[in-house]
Amino acid sequence: MHTFIQTTLYVGHPRSDPPSLNIVSSDQDAKHFLVFSYPAFGHVTPLLELSRRIVAAGHRVTFAVSESLMDDMYKRNVVVPADEKRIRLFLLKDGIQSSHDECLSADDLVLVSNRLSVAIRDLISSLPVKSTRNGYSRRIADIPSVDVIISDVFICDAPFTAAVEQNIPIFGFSPMAGFMAMQYLGVTEQTALGNEDVKGEMKTDQLPAGLKDKYLKIRKSLAKATGLMFNSFTGLEPNIRGEVLKLCPEFTKLKIGCVGPVVAHSPDDPMKHSETSQVSRWLDKQKERSVVYVSFGSMLAPKENQLLILCETLRAMNRPFIWALKSAYQAPLSQGVKEAIKSQFQTTGCPFLILAWAPQTTILKHKATRLFVSHCGWNSTLEGISFGVPILAWPMCADQHGNAEMVERLGCGKKIKNVDMAAKRIVSQEELTGLIDEVAQWDSSLSENTYFTKAQKLSEDGAEVTSKDGDSQKNLELILQGD
């Protein structure tokens, strides 16, 4: 028996002006969307934001997610009990024990997909099916009929097969950059088997057998879909449809395009409001474009010796900085730094904040922020770009390397070379200082800083595509139309 929980979500957008939406005229016109996410926060976050946009257009959403994520979704401020009634969480009893942001084993990725598949097939097969005559052919308690399904492509074939059987339109959603999606869509039966895992740079020329089978299933299942949408935008990747069709000519009938940047706004959570306010007040006291913000996401942090070098580098800059560093990773820091952390909000003129949890979008959109040192997970990359902040990319694993290369190619940042989670190469204080100085260009005006001006231009492009007549908005409306 599945648990069906009513919860409420903030409907928002990272920019001051939300995307223009064609609001439905009445509840009779409203559709019910069922959204499935892979159980990792890098996947949950953009799919929740996409759900908010669907809700903002006047439709209803049921968001189905592994029950193992429920507590963390609130703790991480991903979902909050705000006063919105059209999004409900459906907790899948899939036997998964925890978030898989930190699960980087190919075998584990396959196991998670298999467990999800069982729960999702059970749910979709139990959904009410519309009849041409007397309402619905069957019902289950509390679940209205579903008009459209949106599924994370990494769940593989189960949602797509079941949706086709129930004659429900289904859209695949790729939370990765389009060019990274081309890697898994390009896997064929001829792709060589190997021992490559996703702990390093994401490569698909040699794959473990289980991961190869997973990618083949993704491609096969998407051929059954109504459409395939990417969390990207034309300013970053202008010809995603063409590239997809070049690889997958069997997708000709699919609606293919970008709906991004799908970037979450910080929800108005009373539990986090005081922390966010403290950070905002600290930022308000800093000079415009003077702050370095550092975050490696919720998954990883540099190894201990590299972490200490980073800390010393940041402190030696004599520039204000904010460092998002989970409490578990703060142990190696010096006693002096630890003492400063305890009183950082009480100390007048404290030159830094080291935070176990940081309101990232609040920081990135503040005019005091000049540079973002990031692991370049795709969500963080899009957030940096959406708010026009140059990025110093420090990738750790998987698709982060490709994202970092895109940042450098676009001209809105710089990639640190030959780094990964294994930390075989230590970035020296001298090198790191030089890279920060190169991207920040402290002594130049912002108009002369090409990294900054390019980041600002991409931010404007991202806002344009989500406006009323923008490409991403038009693609979102294709989803809203359903079939």
pLDDT for the residue numbered 98: 57
Clarify whether residues 283 and 386 are in a common domain. yes
- Taking the C-alpha atoms of residue 79 and residue 11, their distance in angstroms, rounded to an integer, is 11
Domain assignment present for residue 228? The answer is: yes
Contact call for residues 317 and 294 (beta carbons, < 8 A): no
Indicate the Cα dihedral angle 180, 206, 101, 123, nearest 10°: 90
Per-residue pLDDT tens, the chain, 483 aa: give them. 333 333 333 223 333 344 444 555 456 678 999 999 998 888 999 999 999 999 989 999 999 988 888 777 777 767 665 535 668 888 888 877 655 555 456 777 777 878 888 889 888 888 875 544 344 344 444 567 899 999 999 888 889 999 999 999 999 999 999 998 898 898 888 887 766 555 555 555 667 777 788 888 889 999 999 999 999 999 999 999 999 999 999 999 999 999 999 997 655 444 557 888 999 999 999 999 999 999 998 777 888 999 999 999 999 999 999 999 999 899 999 999 999 999 999 888 899 999 998 999 999 999 999 999 999 999 999 999 999 999 999 998 888 999 999 999 999 999 999 988 777 899 999 999 999 999 999 999 999 999 999 999 999 999 999 998 999 999 999 999 987
Q: 261: cis peptide before it, omega within 30°?
A: yes
Clarify whether residues 33 and 89 are in a common domain. yes
- What does pTM read for this prediction? 0.87
Clarify whether residues 177 and 291 are in a common domain. no
pLDDT for the residue numbered 297: 86
Residue entry with tokens 């409907």: 11
Domain assignment present for residue 114? The answer is: yes
pLDDT for the residue numbered 7: 35
Residue 79 token pair? 């979902």
Domain assignment present for residue 204? The answer is: yes
Q: Where residue 130 sits, what CATH number does that domain have?
A: 3.40.50.2000
**C-alpha distances out from residue 188 to 199, 205, 209, 212, 247, Å:** 22, 10, 12, 8, 10
Q: Based on the structure, what is the number of domains in the chain?
A: 2
Residue 146 token pair? 């579903």
Radius of gyration of the chain (CA): 22
Contact call for residues 377 and 42 (beta carbons, < 8 A): yes
Clarify whether residues 391 and 470 are in a common domain. no
Nearest Cα residue to 380 out of 434, 320, 300, 461: 300
Contact call for residues 401 and 395 (beta carbons, < 8 A): yes
Domain that holds residue 166: 3-260+466-481
